[in-house]
Structure 1
Amino acid sequence: MSKRKDGQARGKYTLELKLEAVPVTPKILGLPVQTLGNWVRLSGKGQLKGAGDKPVSPEQMELDRLRAELSRVKMERDILKKANGVLRAGSPVKYAWIAGHKARWPITLTCEVLEVSASGYFERWRRKDCTKPSKPEVNKRISDEALLVHIKAIHAEGKEEYGWPKMWKELLARGIRVGKERVRKLMQRHGIKARGKRKFVVTTDSKHSLPIAPNLLDRKFTPEAPNQVWSSDITYIATDEGWLYLTGVIDLFSRQVVGWSMRDHMQTSVVTDALRMAWFRRHPAPGLIFHSDRGSQYCSHEFQNELKGYAMKSSMSRKGNCWDNAPTESLWGRLKVGRLYGRRFATRREAMDELMDWLNFYNHKRLHSTLGYVSPMTFEQRWIAAQQQDRKSV
């Protein structure tokens, strides 16, 4: 330890600690780093003032402190909720999870919440370059122990949705070059597998006298561009407070969920709200085909008038034929098997939070075999980039 001018010992801080410390406080307080730096400099000169040049009272300072503490508590809650299964895993899996979420939360905070050493992360995890797995795979064969760490981390992050085919694709996407048979055998040896499939009941109410639209889709599930065909359906989730009904609207081009609504009832608003959300997010051109089943909500005059107002064409499946709306039925299967099976929700709010988390995971991260093992968002972004490149080359 060297000495400062005032005789006090000068601390030696590692580069990793400095890089980590800089963004922590601004993130907790919700402030830009530059703003915080300006406040520190003004405080040293005795020139720090509040809004409108008014002095800051002790009550206001306490209120600001409480707000900062509340922000930190919320971040810790989000980390605990997101980590879930990782909490029961060993340090290597936790370090892998922390590395995968370092852009979202401060590393020191996630280490504290997951009860692992921050120094251990920097000294062992980052030194071994585990956050950049492409280098060791290029130079030499990754060991089974290291590969198993990656597999367990992906398995926990994806809430146990991936079997070995998607796991292999996800490893390749992360730069880990490994054979699919090796992944299959390693997962089988350690009992790592996707959640089991389960049959779910269809709840469409088609016993009504409302007008039925023709089947314009006719099982053509691969449109050539976004916002040409949307498909919608309603499913239900049990909670201790009663049923929660979820309506989803997906764009069949990228299989992205573009609109949704959650209600405690099966009235027409559960579908009209999902449609409005999808329209405000996407603003499709007139002529879009909106496909659904023959449920009374979709056949209602209110919903049909909503479609006409958006210049959309209504299309409906044949009676009792779930295959006419297979992509949306498949979406609900993935949701219930991958995230809801075996879960019990005390409140509808708890179920809604879980559904929102899954919808975000599905749109942005979940590999889709129909899309060549990329996420819906990635598939659409690549298509848009290709279209822009083609226009530039013309």
Structure 2
Amino acid sequence: MSNRDFTEKEIKLLEKNRYTNSVTPKGITYTEEFKLKFVLEYEKGKLARHIFEECGFDISIIGIKRVKSSSERWRKAYYEHGESGLRDSRTDSSGRPRIKELSLEEKYARLEAQHRLLQAENELLKKIRSAERGLNRKELSPAQKFCLIREVIEKYGLKQMVRHLCEVTGVSRSGYYRYFSAPAEGKRNEQEAKDEISRGMILKAFLFKSRKKGARQIKMTLEGHFKVTYNLKRIRRIMKKYGIICPIRRANPYKQIMKATQEHQVVPNKVNRDFKQDIPYKVLLTDITYLYFGKGLRAYLSTIMDGSTNEIVAYHVSDRITMELATDTLKKLKKKRNFRLAKDALIHSDQGTHYTHPDFQKLVKKMKLGQSMSRRGNCWDNALQESFFGHLKDEALIKSCTTLQELKKEIKKYMTYYNYHRYQWNLKKMTPVQYRDHLLKTA
């Protein structure tokens, strides 16, 4: 039987024996009387376990290993020093030799080891706190803690302190050794190699056409252009692991849409947010936005979008917000080759002065288009256009342009990218042009 800890019941039972000096969960000490009796009886040829049993000890509780070690220790002490060798001035009088006085060198080495351990503990806890702050107070995974423990162990040479440092950080010692075992290391190295390959592909899609993208855009670009299929969770894991950050549009809390005191419905809202009618060029959406570029310069972009496919069918850039900004966009649409309006097509806008102006409405009628307008102050009635402008300002390199000509060139490049290369989740993972062709084939 091994030197297991004693239970409370076993301690009480052992304390009742008159030859017991003291009992703790870890061990037992005996009286000098018993130790002397044991040595004398052993010299007569009796077995150690028989002597213990005759004196009222239960070997199944004490354990044969404890009996043997005590027997060897007492006999050696008796042969070397006689009865005095069995005496011990310590409270834990077990017959073991007294602890020798440490030399100055040994004391210094012990203090130095304690100092290194304290340094390692402090550094380890600081690293964990720092890492958790970087994760917005989320607790580190056991694997991350194992790596930090190994780092401080190698730095301070504390190979024997694994158990202690694992307890300090709240992870298991067996988990630590299992994590750094040869099979686990091999599996992680294999996974690391796979992740590096995935990272390369994801970066290609992320930077495709020099436009940064989010996880869903990356997935669609991989499938549509590179013919590679990755799970969304995998893409997000790789992006998080390697710090591939996509531009995220955040709402501006200071920019609020002011509602007019009087609602002036110039033209009824015939669309009623029913943008997706699965018929190309049936519902056209138009709007104007500001573009800030260079050093405090500002331009204006007017666009016409196909509501069913999100394709930008016409646009116009100007440094002046005149009436021609809207009408020139319509004229560009009219001149566009291979453009055929669907039956009962209409154009939808907000109630801005450009769209309520007689010149604009006259041109709309001339093109045989119906007209629809959002309710005043309600951006949701033209949400697709607002969404497009948001993506444009995130993804196009507008601020780096220094002249209007550079800006027009960049907008042209972006429109080509958006229509032909930017896959969209809600368009069955197709680009606007692909989805338009898909609708025309299935019509």
Corresponding residue for residue 316 of structure 2: 261
Greater RCO between the two (CA within 8 Å, min separation 6)? Answer: 1
Partner of 2:440 in structure 1? 384
8 Å CA contact retained: 1:271, 1:303: yes
Shift of 1:158: 4.5
Per-residue Cα deviation, 1:303-351 (whole angstroms, up to 9, x for no partner):
000001011111110010000000000000111122257x333111111
Give 2:197's aligned residue. Answer: 146
Residue number among 155, 171, 181 corresponding to 2:222 in the alignment: 171
Q: 1:160: Cα distance to partner?
A: 4.6
- Residues 1:320 and 2:377 aligned together: yes
1:336-355 matches, cutoff 5 A: 336-340=393-397, 343-355=399-411
Helix, strand or coil at the partner of 2:312: strand
Aligned-partner residue type, residue 212 of structure 1: V
Task: Mark the CA change 1:266 to 1:203 in structure 2 (over 3 Å): closer, same or farther.
Answer: farther
Query: CA offset at residue 291 of structure 1?
Result: 0.2
1:233 equivalent in alignment to 2:287: yes
1:283 pairs with 305, 317, 340, which one?
340
Superposed, 1:59-70 pairs within 5 Å as: none
Query: Separation in 1 of the partners of 2:278 and 2:320?
Result: 35
Q: Which residue does the alignment assign to 2:349?
A: 292
- Segments of 5+ residues of structure 1 without an aligned counterpart are 1-141, 388-394
CA deviation map 1:16-59 (0-9, x unaligned): xxxxxxxxxxxxxxxxxxxxxxxxxxxxxxxxxxxxxxxxxxxx
CA RMSD, Structure 1 to Structure 2 (Å)? 2.8
Give the superposition deviation at 1:231: 0.3
1:19 matched residue in structure 2: none
Indicate conservation of the 8 Å contact 2:303/2:314, yes or no: yes
Q: After alignment, is 230-239 or 207-216 more displaced?
A: 207-216
Q: Aligned residue for 1:192?
A: 244
Alignment CA distance shift 1:202-1:259 (3 Å): farther
Q: Which runs of 5+ in 2 are unaligned?
A: 1-192
Counterparts of 1:178 and 1:210 in 2: how far apart (Å)?
50
Contact 2:350 2:374 in 1 (8 A): yes
Contact conserved, 1:203 with 1:235, CA < 8 A, in 2? no
Aligned to 2:390, which of 316, 333, 336?
Answer: 333
Alignment of 1:22-37 (within 5 A): none
* Residue 366 (structure 1) aligned to one of 417, 422, 432: 422
Query: CA offset at residue 198 of structure 1?
Result: 3.5
1:147 Cα deviation from its structure 2 partner: 2.1
Counterparts of 1:320 and 1:289 in 2: how far apart (Å)?
21
Aligned equivalent of 1:125: none
Q: What SS does structure 2 have at the residue aligned with 1:323?
A: helix
Computing the radius of gyration from Cα coordinates, the structure with the larger value is 2
Match status 1:222 vs 2:276: yes
Residue matched to 1:250: 305
Deviation (angstroms), 1:195: 0.7
Matches of 2:260 and 2:352 in 1, distance apart?
Answer: 5
Alpha-carbon distance in structure 1 between the residues aligned to 2:229 and 2:365: 51
> What's the offset of the Cα at 1:166?
2.3
3-state SS of the aligned residue for 2:348? Answer: strand
Q: Which residue of the partner structure matches residue 63 of structure 2?
A: none
Change (3 A) 1:209 1:195: closer
Q: Distance in 1 between matches of 2:409 and 2:198?
A: 32
Q: 1:160·1:193 contact (CA, 8 Å) conserved in 2?
A: no
Q: Is the 8 A contact 1:251 1:257 kept in 2?
A: yes
1:304 aligns with one of 321, 341, 361: 361
CA distance in structure 1 between the aligned counterparts of 2:430 and 2:233, rounded to whole angstroms: 20
Aligned residue number for residue 326 of structure 2:
271
Percent of aligned pairs sharing the same letter: 26
Letter in 1 for 2:200: V
- TM (norm. structure 2) is 0.51
CA distance in 2, matches of 1:204, 1:185: 41
Matched pairs, number = 246
Partner SS state of residue 441, structure 2: helix
Give the 3 Å change call, closer, same or farther, for CA 209–178 of structure 1 in structure 2: closer
Tell me what 2:56 maps to.
none
Q: Distance in 2 between matches of 1:226 and 1:353?
A: 27
CA shift in 2, pair 1:202/1:263, >3 Å: farther
Compute the displacement of 1:237 (Å). Answer: 0.8
Given that 2:216 and 2:425 are in contact with CA atoms closer than 8 Å, whether structure 1 keeps it comes out as no
Q: Which residue of 1 aligns with 2:68?
A: none
